[in-house]
Amino acid sequence: MDINTQKKAPLYEALQKFRKQRVVPFDVPGHKRGRGNHELVELLGEKCVGLDVNSMKPLDNLCHPVSVILEAEQLAADAFGAGHAFFMVGGTTSAVQSMIWSVCKAGDKIILPRNVHKSVINALVLCGAVPAYVNPDVDKKIGIALGMELSQVENAIKENPDAVAILVNNPTYYGIASDLKAIVKLAHAHGMKVLADEAHGTHFYFGEDLPVSAMAAGADIAAVSMHKSGGSLTQSSLLLTNKNVRWEYVAQIINLTQTTSASYLLMSSLDISRRNLALRGKESFGKVMKMAEYARNEINEIGGYYAYGRELNNGSSVFDYDVTKLSVYTRDIGLAGIEVYDLLRDEYDIQIEFGDIGNILAYISIGDRIQDIERLVGALADIKRLYSKDNAKMLSMEYIPPIVSATPRDAFYADKEMLPIEQTAGRICSEFVMCYPPGIPILSPGEMITDEIIEYINYAKAKGCSMQGTEDPYIEKLNVLK
């Protein structure tokens, strides 16, 4: 990475130059720099609305970049150690799906862990690829799915030698990383591509003493959520391809679904954030790691909570741990993670990333301050003192291995009927059921519904998890195959 070159932000600079020209707009968007929508200007500010412009020659076009967007993408590729980088304005969902569609066609097999984001399964529904799941081990104490062990991947390859790719979470939502380098070596030896979902791994490219990044590990394609730990605007992401990948074909796949009216607010935020990370990322993420470690120690001092970290490392299912993640097990104080989540927001004006049945995740990033950490720690101590209760009747499980009976695509489009959830045990689900966040399906199309899953869904609803994915907005009925 050339630091001097990384000081440039070509797309942002082109926007600034354009703004000074005072061009008369007879193109879209129709608000015409905000003149047609004064409430929008009041909400977002004149400068922001004035930069909400359309593609034009001086500002390039995301669907076929040839000037400032192309240069900005090349700088991103250099900063991330990639062969090519694509600006994505449909969130990391669009990056994940384009990544899968670039290597998978209808009927192709892809090896992947079951604890993937819903965007992965959605991609399989749309393209018709067939999942070969690696069911990860589960930490019996905290109930979460761990990473993919190399032996599990080896078995999956033996059972599915015709698979075209392996997808790896790098890391999981909770911060757990698999042995990505070894998985890449194994996959490539069998002629398979490696895809990395790095929605929560942007900082791996710039921080020190963190799990290995996908590009450094030799993975073929990676979807990177710049708007999470990278500091860009929500919905802006990157898709990275390594030097051995034909990026021109990937560009065609992206353009099958990507908007032709890409937001310059999102794209310029990617350009500015890339520059910020390239110039200051090492220092910034060093501070994030220190804040997270401080918070972990302070929370564990409270007692009752368990803020976990690198002590989980076992060299296999937890090959490494992302210490910037502040994941906290709450069940020992008699509260589900979602209950702590609600209390923090409703009683203490603290918004964390998510709460599930047994854990919470507080996302710590380059924008946090130590006083915010102290306020969170104080609130958790308060919650334990005021709201803790007996945990004897609490559900302990978090991840339930699925029984796969049909492909996601076949099940999603099959003839179906809607039944009350209590009557669905033993039937094949034809839709998704998930808590969001984190957006990891409890049920995916093609999986058998069991009494254990029904109990889990009802428990999560009762505790206040935000459920989605079903046609029935109240999650009282499920679509099942006839």
286 lies in the same domain as 355: yes
CB 179 within 8 A of CB 319: yes
For residue 241, the model assigns a pLDDT of 98
CA dihedral 372, 375, 379, 381 (to 10 degrees): 110
Domain boundary among 387, 418, 437: 387
Average pLDDT, stretch 132-156? 93
Q: Residue 77: CB partners within 8 Å, gap ≥ 6?
A: 83, 84, 85, 240
On the question of pLDDT at 20 being above 90, the answer is no
Per-residue confidence band for 122, with pLDDT thresholds at 50, 70 and 90:
very high
In tens, the pLDDT along 31-50 reads 988 888 999 999 999 889 98
On the question of pLDDT at 329 being above 80, the answer is yes
Is 48 inside a domain boundary?
A: no
Please count the structural domains in the chain.
3
Average pLDDT, stretch 292-319? 97
330 lies in the same domain as 343: yes
Per-residue confidence band for 74, with pLDDT thresholds at 50, 70 and 90:
very high
Per-residue confidence band for 21, with pLDDT thresholds at 50, 70 and 90:
confident
List strand residue ranges (DSSP E) for 242-324, in order.
306-307, 320-321
Peptide bond into 171 cis (omega under 30): yes
Tell me the pTM: 0.95
271 lies in the same domain as 308: no
Structure tokens given for 458: 């009802």
Q: What is the CATH number of the domain that holds 475?
A: 3.90.105.10
CA distance 229 to 248: 28
> Residue with structure tokens 């569609």?
101
For residue 4, the model assigns a pLDDT of 87
In sequence order, what DSSP letters do the residues of 299-311 get, joined into one string? HHHHSS-EE--GG
In tens, the pLDDT along 211-238 reads 999 999 999 999 999 999 999 999 999 9
Q: What is the CATH number of the domain that holds 81?
A: 3.40.640.10
CA distance 197 to 223: 5
CA distance 167 to 219: 10
413 lies in the same domain as 378: no
Q: Residue 58: CB partners within 8 Å, gap ≥ 6?
A: 14, 17, 18, 68
What are 384-387's contacts with CB under 8 Å, separation 24+? 384/302, 384/303, 384/304, 384/305, 384/333, 387/333, 387/335, 387/339, 387/343
For residue 242, the model assigns a pLDDT of 98
For residue 22, the model assigns a pLDDT of 82
CA distance 470 to 480: 11
How high does pLDDT run on average in the chain? Answer: 95
For residue 395, the model assigns a pLDDT of 83
Share of the chain above pLDDT 90, in %: 89
On the question of pLDDT at 352 being above 90, the answer is yes
141 lies in the same domain as 270: yes
On the question of pLDDT at 396 being above 80, the answer is no
Is 425 inside a domain boundary?
A: yes
183 lies in the same domain as 210: yes
CB 429 within 8 A of CB 443: yes
Q: Which of 241-245, 397-401, 462-466 has the lowest mean pLDDT?
A: 397-401
Q: What is the CATH number of the domain that holds 354?
A: 3.90.1150.10
Q: Which domain holds residue 241?
A: 3-7+56-278
